[in-house]
Amino acid sequence: MSATGAAPAVADQQKAPPPTDVAPGRPRRDWTGSAVQSVLAIVAALVLGGLLIALTDDRVADSAGYFFARPGDTLAAMWAAASSAYEAMFYGAVYNPNGGTLAQRVYPLAETLTVATPLVLAGLGVAVAFQAGLFNIGAQGQLLIGAALAAWVGFAWQLPVGVHLLAVIVAGAVGGALWGAIVGVLKARTGAHEVILTIMLNYIALNLVAWLLTRPAFLRPGSSNPVSPQVAETAMFPKLLGEQFRLHWGFVLAVLATVFVAWLLKRSTIGFELRAVGANPRAARTAGISVTRGFVVVMVLAGALAGLAGVAQISGTERALTAGVAASFGFDAITVALLGRSKPWGTFFAGLLYGGFRAGGVTMQSMTGTNIDIVLVVQSLIVLFIALPPLVRTGQDRVRRRGRGATTAAAVPTDTVPNDTGGTDTGTTTAAGDTATATEGGRA
């Protein structure tokens, strides 16, 4: 009787679905999550960054020499070092109360928005690829190619006002889209990994631009320096707040791009297909969605957005093509997309935050003497804290799977037990206890 009574329990245990922490119908993604996690990652990174600032401050080092006699002096020096550095960063990124005029007081915010413009556009390109399950780290190369084509249209073509700027925008988007399409086609046709492809294409784009700047078509007349002619005034973005600020209408383009990507992913058929491919390519293929076409489409779109970031550099701030026109915007865009949880508006606000870091870091160094590399440390810590929850969940899932396997192995007392159909269930477990399979003898 004991064997018969144990049979339903064993069968139920073998048939029960594995537990999960994710609500039904909502697949877990390692690079998406709640906004709370992003905020906590920022706060934790700022706290550790402040601790690092304090530990490298000379006044803290001096007071630490008599820490056990007067520990309050050391703690006060640590607080003063960290708070003064972050206060200076705020003055350089958001608002400077010491400015004599209103324009001087709000200039830091305008500068933050200017720096954030290419970060937002390139970050959207990375985020869109994430939504389709692709890790696009080629925004740097796509930005460079878009900037090169936009610069050529800007200084080589003579067009009316309005039309010329529109042509530059289209040229930059097309250049980035073509560079992204190479990755999409190779991924779809050959199965080559997009990370390897984008890394190599970044180097190719960098050297291609460097070579172009040695050609007569791109070299500035009368100069041997690797810099192109300046683009025409008709190809420049108008200033958004007047000539006293660098902020231009490229920021409005970034806002419009964010609105478009949000609509595309949530409201359009193409966006639904891209998200389906990213969630489960096999299920998407079973549902009739072309996965290979999705790879090509998403990389074209990602490249076009990164190319627009190149346009923001050429027609917004730099006005000429150089080998360093992209700076590190393409690589920083990966961090921006991760911090934004691959969501359009999350990426937008993450770009603003990183723009503030860039703009405020210079002021922080000039006012307090704090090394500007602290900003890079804080950015890196943010990425680390964002990556931690998926790593912890992965470890927990492995522990649960091993625990379930061991429990199932211990629960099967015999090799043959009756089942509810009149046949027998033959249980087989591995020595490690990781798997358990059952075949029903009555249904063979």
Query: 200-223: per-residue pLDDT in tens?
Result: 999 999 999 999 999 999 989 888
- Smallest CA-to-CA distance from 273 within 197, 242, 76, 283 is with 283
- 439's enclosing H/E stretch is strand 436-440
Query: What DSSP state is assigned to residue 229?
Result: P
User: Span 169-174, mean pLDDT?
Assistant: 97
Sign of CA dihedral 212, 336, 341, 394: positive
- Strand-pair partners of 416: 426
Digit-coded pLDDT (tens) for 397-432: 777 777 777 666 555 554 444 444 444 444 444 433
pLDDT at residue 76 in the model: 93
Q: Mention every residue, 6+ apart, whose C-beta is less than 8 A from residue 134.
A: 187, 194, 278, 295, 298, 299, 302
Instruction: Count each helix (H run) and each strand (E run) in the chain, helices first.
Output: 15, 3
Where does 157-290 have alpha helices with state H? Answer: 163-190, 194-212, 250-267, 269-279, 281-286
Q: Indicate the pLDDT class of residue 321, thresholds 50, 70 and 90.
A: very high
234 in Cβ contact with 346 (< 8 Å): no
- 367's enclosing H/E stretch is helix 344-368
User: Span 270-279, mean pLDDT?
Assistant: 92
Please give the residue that has the higher pLDDT: either 390 or 73: 73
- Least confident residue range of 232-241, 388-397, 415-424, 433-442: 433-442
- 418's enclosing H/E stretch is strand 416-418
User: How would you classify the pairing of strands 424-429 and 416-418?
Assistant: antiparallel
Exposure string (b/e) for 167-192, b if CB count within 10 Å is 16 or more?
bbbbbbbbbbbbbbbbbbbbbbeeee
Q: How far apart are CA 130 and CA 134, in angstroms?
A: 5
Helix (H, G, I), strand (E, B) or coil at 281: helix
CA diameter of the chain: 100
- Least confident residue range of 144-158, 234-248, 419-433: 419-433
7 in Cβ contact with 418 (< 8 Å): yes
Q: How far apart are CA 124 and CA 340, in angstroms?
A: 9
Sign of CA dihedral 407, 411, 416, 422: negative
Question: pLDDT at residue 28 above 50?
Answer: no
Phi and psi at residue 290, in whole multiples of 5°?
-80, 110
Sign of CA dihedral 277, 280, 281, 285: negative
Burial class for 53, CB neighbours closer than 10 Å (0-12, 13-18, 19+): buried
335 in Cβ contact with 379 (< 8 Å): yes
At 364, list the tokens.
Answer: 């922080």
Please give the residue that has the higher pLDDT: either 394 or 175: 175
Please give the residue that has the higher pLDDT: either 18 or 244: 244
210 in Cβ contact with 323 (< 8 Å): yes
pLDDT at residue 247 in the model: 94
What average pLDDT is seen over the chain? 84
Digit-coded pLDDT (tens) for 114-144: 999 999 999 999 999 999 999 999 999 999 9
The DSSP secondary structure of 25-64, one letter per residue, reads T----TT---HHHHHHHHHHHHHHHHHHHHHT-HHHHHHH
Q: How far apart are CA 88 and CA 110, in angstroms?
A: 16
